[in-house]
Structure 1
Amino acid sequence: MGLAPPKKDSSAQRSKAALVIFGKAPIPGQVKTRLCPPLTPDEAATLQGSLVLDVVERARAAAKSVQYDCCFACSPSREHVFFKVLEDRQGLLLLDQVGEDLGARMHRAFQELFDRGYQQVVIVGTDVPTLPGSTFGAAFRSLKDHDLVLGPALDGGYYLIGLQRPAPDLFTDIPWSTDQVAALTRKKAESLGLTTALLPPYRDLDRLEDLQVLIGEAKSAPKTFSPRTAGVLQALADRLKSRDATLD
């Protein structure tokens, strides 16, 4: 399955650049499972939904000054009601995530969009609540004179990757969900003759340690978060403390 035409905007390609948000629907028991426990599946799903909305809203806002089309690569399916609402309200182009692992799914998304005529494609995840909207413009600017742009995560992975042409070998033989992903991707890019630009590192929200740090940051620097996610993090902190979880 490929791209679905958006409901509000014209299905015709409007830009030479595409931003693809990779994310999951906030289904209890299927998202943020490494945070459960201490979070309940419902709490993890609430957090996931807030993170997704953050990236979508920041991406749409940034697209007003940086010309690119906004897409969303959906899991488990673009037919899920959560994504249909996003499509209707935000005018996103929807894709299904297709592939046996993350690398295969990203390669499929890149290939599909390059096949549609895009000349720059950037993929971003939904796990960095402090990611500023200016990141997207920086990524596309980097692709003007680099083959590859990476946004490294503090856990050794990456929260963003962009290309100006297909590079299928870049996504093979990578141990996904390990602390070697970004380093091995850069090494492979070098072996393929690809020039790489790096964006500032940010913290992914994947583990309890990340949740603890981000709860603290939401208290000390709330303006780096959306009001919605800052509120979700504070509510989770209060609930976890009431369960005698050690967050401080």
Structure 2
Amino acid sequence: MRRYGAGAGVLSEIRCAPIPVTILVVAKAPVAGFAKTRLSPPLTPAQAARLAAAALLDTLDAVRDCPVVSRVVAFTGDLAGAECGGEIGDMLADFEVVPQRGSEFGVRLANAHADAARAGLPVLQIGMDTPQVSSRLLTDAARTLADGAGALLGPATDGGWWALGLTDPRAARLLAEVPMSTDRTGENTRSALQDSGFRVGFLPALTDVDHYADALHVATECTGRFATEVRAFGDQRVAR
């Protein structure tokens, strides 16, 4: 009897089993004039929205390729008037979609996390601003959460964060008290978690796409729709 071979087969099955984690994407409809407004100028509002759509589609692709138990999108906005609305709608069919709740961004993040945590699994929360994120990176993060990490924070190069993983859903309530969209959001989120007794691990830092210079940089780190859209702009004279 080849006990080693039998054991290897069991180990392979374990590795292929879905990871007991929920990946949560917080997103909004890429509508011209409402999405990625800091890209305009130099882009037109329609171009900025098209980049936002590409970023969202690439992000959903990466999440869809992760072997996790659950995938949730907390969504706001109307796809009827959005760039690539039909394609986004088709892709969302592969996700559980919940509406965002709350007026302040931090409150919406906290509520989205609470909604995703109803399945009773650890939650890895990301946004739609890092199209360079890979399924491998998300899968590694999900495995770390499943192995019992207290909290994971993915810092953004602008001082914010691009990912937050929590095994205890009660910790998400802290997000409602952290000022968002500042150059200290990441630091303040980490401090809030640690002050409440949570052990925080860190994921690699990524660049959020907030400004056109960010878009140019991020496009060099990915090969999907987002990079294609940025290259398509090329040296054309966009709006000033």
Q: Is the 8 A contact 2:72 2:116 kept in 1?
A: no
CA, structure 1 residues 243+15, in 2 after alignment: closer, same or farther (shift >3 Å)?
closer
TM-score (norm 2): 0.82
Q: Matches of 1:61 and 1:113 in 2, distance apart?
A: 19
Q: Which residue of 2 aligns with 1:134?
A: 136
- State the Cα distance separating 1:187 from its structure 2 match: 0.8
1:109 aligned onto 2:106: no
Q: Matches of 1:40 and 1:15 in 2, distance apart?
A: 41
Bigger drift between 76-85 and 42-51 goes to 76-85
Q: Matches of 1:62 and 1:180 in 2, distance apart?
A: 30
Match of 2:233 among 221, 233, 236: 236
Q: Matches of 2:133 and 2:92 in 1, distance apart?
A: 22
Match of 2:91 among 86, 90, 106: 86
Structure 2 unaligned regions, length at least 5: 1-17
Q: Matches of 2:205 and 2:112 in 1, distance apart?
A: 23
TM-score (norm 1): 0.79
Match of 1:175 among 164, 174, 179: 179
Higher normalized helix content (fraction of residues): 2
The 4+ residue runs of structure 1 with deviation greater than 6 A are: none
Q: Is the 8 A contact 1:77 1:97 kept in 2?
A: no
Structure 1 unaligned regions, length at least 5: 1-13, 218-223
- State the Cα distance separating 1:178 from its structure 2 match: 0.4
Q: Is the 8 A contact 2:44 2:239 kept in 1?
A: no
Q: Which residue of 2 aligns with 1:97?
A: 100
CA, structure 1 residues 193+77, in 2 after alignment: closer, same or farther (shift >3 Å)?
farther
Over the residues paired in the alignment, what is the CA RMSD in angstroms?
A: 2.3
Matched letter for residue 131 of structure 2: P
Q: Which residue of 2 aligns with 1:68?
A: 69
Q: Which residue of 2 aligns with 1:55?
A: 59
Q: Matches of 1:48 and 1:176 in 2, distance apart?
A: 20
The SS at the match of 2:213 is helix
Q: Matches of 1:15 and 1:129 in 2, distance apart?
A: 22
Bigger drift between 99-108 and 153-162 goes to 99-108
1:147 aligned onto 2:150: yes
Q: Is the 8 A contact 1:149 1:196 kept in 2?
A: yes
Matched letter for residue 71 of structure 2: C
Pairs aligned (count): 217
Q: Matches of 1:234 and 1:36 in 2, distance apart?
A: 17
